[in-house]
Amino acid sequence: MSGSTFGRVFTVTTWGESHGEAIGVVVDGCPSGLELDERDIQKFLDRRKPGQSKYATPRNEGDKVKILSGVFEGYTTGTPISMMVENTSQHSKDYDELKDVYRPGHADICYDMKYGIRDHRGGGRSSGRETIGRVAAGAVAIKLLNDIGIDICAYVTQIGEIGIDFANFDREEISRNPLCMPDKEAAEKAGKYLDKLIEEKDSSGALVECVVTGVPAGLGEPVFDKLDARLAQAVMSIGGVKGVEIGDGFGVVTSRGSENNDEFFMEDGNIVKKTNHAGGILGGISDGSAILLRAAFKPTPSIFRKQSTINNDLEEVEIEIKGRHDPIIAPRAVVVVESMVALTIMDMLQLKR
């Protein structure tokens, strides 16, 4: 596979460039009989849509999804679901001067080294707009998962040094503030931090957490296709992610077995764990408790300051990026994390005997 397909049974193939005709996805292996229409998809796409706050690029595309196949009289038929979003608000001109210059922190130079050619307009295939396909497919997976009692919820827990206070955790708050933080106070502080960075023509990294409940025990294949291994690939494949951890994650380095082991006990006839340091996965297989995952997002590489770089004549030059860029990746990526987690779990559920 050349990298644009994900999954073994519930498979997703994305296509499209930032400033091409359109962006889309084909979902193959979706069970038949799911009630589905464009509104089910649109509400997820709207969560990643640009132009919704000062922390998100003002590129104001409608990003209206069209379902082109696989749905008949309101229900999925089991055949591939093709979905497409047309690119309508393209300021390709903004990118003309990036044609020959490599932006630091961007994949431009790697595409040129790999392919010898690239669509320089807005990052082409490496643009964040590529995630439209992931989110449209994720919307289908999430609908299927919700139907069997699996809930997926991601949010931003830290921006720069400003972390949320878990004592204030309020799920409703996630969709109320533009930073997708479940703690109103933290979101306000983080907003001020970002205002300052915008002023300084800079950008910030962030931490995103995702909790999945309702996953039955026994999901995941031992050895190479461990549930956490597949989740790690899924989430690390999102642009800007530099780290993925499960449960206590990097915290285990300073932990001891006597602390880290989750002891079992019985409660109302169910197997329960006293703690969940493991994040719901043991030996690569779900243990029935909540799955907990975190991803580190790097600061947006497109900043408006002057930076040193080279051009494709291999001359050292300075660059001042223009165009429309978010000062932070994570808030709009929250729905992408949910989507990738959903696609992984859906696929592994289909594989499970």
- Helix runs in 179-221, H state only: 184-199
Q: Which of 9, 1, 2 is nearest to 343 (CA)?
A: 9
Which amino acid makes up residue 234?
Answer: A
Q: In angstroms, how far is CA 257 from the centroid of its own chain?
A: 32
| C-alpha distance from residue 341 to each of 32, 137, 151, 176, 258 (Å) | 21, 11, 11, 23, 30
Per the CB < 8 A criterion, the answer to whether 152 and 145 are in contact is yes
**Taking the complex as a whole, how short is the minimal distance between the CB of residue 79 and a copy of itself, in angstroms?**
4
Q: In 3-state terms, what secondary structure has residue 204?
A: strand
Token pair of 42 as six digits: 């649109």
**Taking the complex as a whole, how short is the minimal distance between the CB of residue 294 and a copy of itself, in angstroms?**
8
**Taking the complex as a whole, how short is the minimal distance between the CB of residue 43 and a copy of itself, in angstroms?**
21
The residue among 172 and 224 lying less far from a copy of itself, judged by its C-beta, is 224
d(C-alpha 347, C-alpha 61), whole Å: 31
The residue among 28 and 97 lying less far from a copy of itself, judged by its C-beta, is 28
Q: Which of 204, 200, 208, 161 is nearest to 182 (CA)?
A: 208
The residue among 177 and 203 lying less far from a copy of itself, judged by its C-beta, is 203
Q: In angstroms, how far is CA 266 from the centroid of its own chain?
A: 36
**Taking the complex as a whole, how short is the minimal distance between the CB of residue 115 and a copy of itself, in angstroms?**
4
**Taking the complex as a whole, how short is the minimal distance between the CB of residue 343 and a copy of itself, in angstroms?**
9
d(C-alpha 330, C-alpha 290), whole Å: 22
Per the CB < 8 A criterion, the answer to whether 194 and 55 are in contact is yes
The residue among 172 and 279 lying less far from a copy of itself, judged by its C-beta, is 279
**Taking the complex as a whole, how short is the minimal distance between the CB of residue 209 and a copy of itself, in angstroms?**
12
The residue among 153 and 351 lying less far from a copy of itself, judged by its C-beta, is 351
The residue among 167 and 265 lying less far from a copy of itself, judged by its C-beta, is 265
d(C-alpha 341, C-alpha 133), whole Å: 14
| Neighbour-count burial for 107-132, b at 16+ CB within 10 Å, e otherwise | bbbebeeeeeebbbbbbbbbbbbbbb
Residues 6+ apart with CB under 8 A from 144: 30, 31, 34, 346
Identify any residues that bridge with 77 across adjacent strands, giving them in sequence order. none
Residues 6+ apart with CB under 8 A from 13: 4, 5, 6, 25, 26, 28
The residue among 13 and 177 lying less far from a copy of itself, judged by its C-beta, is 13
**Taking the complex as a whole, how short is the minimal distance between the CB of residue 42 and a copy of itself, in angstroms?**
16
Identify any residues that bridge with 162 across adjacent strands, giving them in sequence order. 159
The residue among 172 and 246 lying less far from a copy of itself, judged by its C-beta, is 246
The residue among 116 and 167 lying less far from a copy of itself, judged by its C-beta, is 116
**Taking the complex as a whole, how short is the minimal distance between the CB of residue 288 and a copy of itself, in angstroms?**
7
**Taking the complex as a whole, how short is the minimal distance between the CB of residue 196 and a copy of itself, in angstroms?**
11
The residue among 52 and 261 lying less far from a copy of itself, judged by its C-beta, is 261
- Give me the count of residues in the chain: 353
**Taking the complex as a whole, how short is the minimal distance between the CB of residue 213 and a copy of itself, in angstroms?**
17
